[in-house]
Structure 1
Amino acid sequence: MTNPEPARSRAQRRADALDRLAGDRDAWVATASADGMPTLVPLWFLWDRGRLLMCTRRSTPTARNLTPRGEAVVTVGHATDVVHIAGAAEVVACDALAPGSGDAFSAKLGWDPRGGARWVFVRITPHTVKAWREGNEQPGRLLMREGRWLD
């Protein structure tokens, strides 16, 4: 399907992507085990200091997969307004969060997992960010490369 509206500029896509990251709460997170077994799960997230902050049980495949590979792919939005992020992922203990991050996560999502030992945070630092709506935005969808926003 072709969108009748013109493609957004890179600056507008970046602004729209950052708005979506600040406002949305659901993301699809893909990880893979050391032997390549993929896992795809929805998680709530907070855009915190230029990184995604999510929470899951310590025992989940998502948390386990981050240890051997240290990478994740995250998609926010829907099929006609996508923010696609690939980045370095790490498991962070609840007591090792940056000051204010746990409170901001709880305030945005209405849930505070810091009280239990079975929960860990997942922090993803983007190295690639892409954003597009329709086919006319496929060219130029790359907004960040190697952790740097493109001008």
Structure 2
Amino acid sequence: MTSLLIFCFVNIVIGYFFVNLSYWIFSTVFLVLMLIFCYIKKHYNKLSNVLLLISIIFSFFSYLNSFNPSIFYVSMNFSAIFATLKSLYGIDIFLLISWILNALSFGYLISSLRNITLGIIFGVIIFFLGLKDVYTKKVNKRN
């Protein structure tokens, strides 16, 4: 729980400097709601931490390339929220939505920084990796 709090705090503080204020406020409200849900349920997942970290790192590098990363920032934070909802409630559709948002946001970022074809290719690859993650059976073996 502490690591989620740290990642959300870092994401909110650093995101303030890189994205438009309206996108930042919109994202901050939902990140605070995510923290409240995790605090009430006393549960968090590592995927949300990774997505929040990726969101801020790629937003930083996009900002350095003179690109406004606001849409990428918000969509990656929403992806983290849906990953948290999947972890809290166990419904696979939340994880699927999270991976769709990942694919769209990375495709958008790459197509904006490089070209549209490369963005589509990376978006499709990320979507299929997420689809594999959603539909694989997790087997717990006990000895």
Range into which the TM-score falls when normalised by the shorter chain: under 0.3
TM score, norm. by length of structure 1:
0.26
* Larger RCO (CA within 8 A; separation ≥ 6): 1
Q: Judging by fraction of residues, say which structure has more helix.
A: 2
Q: Judging by fraction of residues, say which structure has more strand.
A: 1
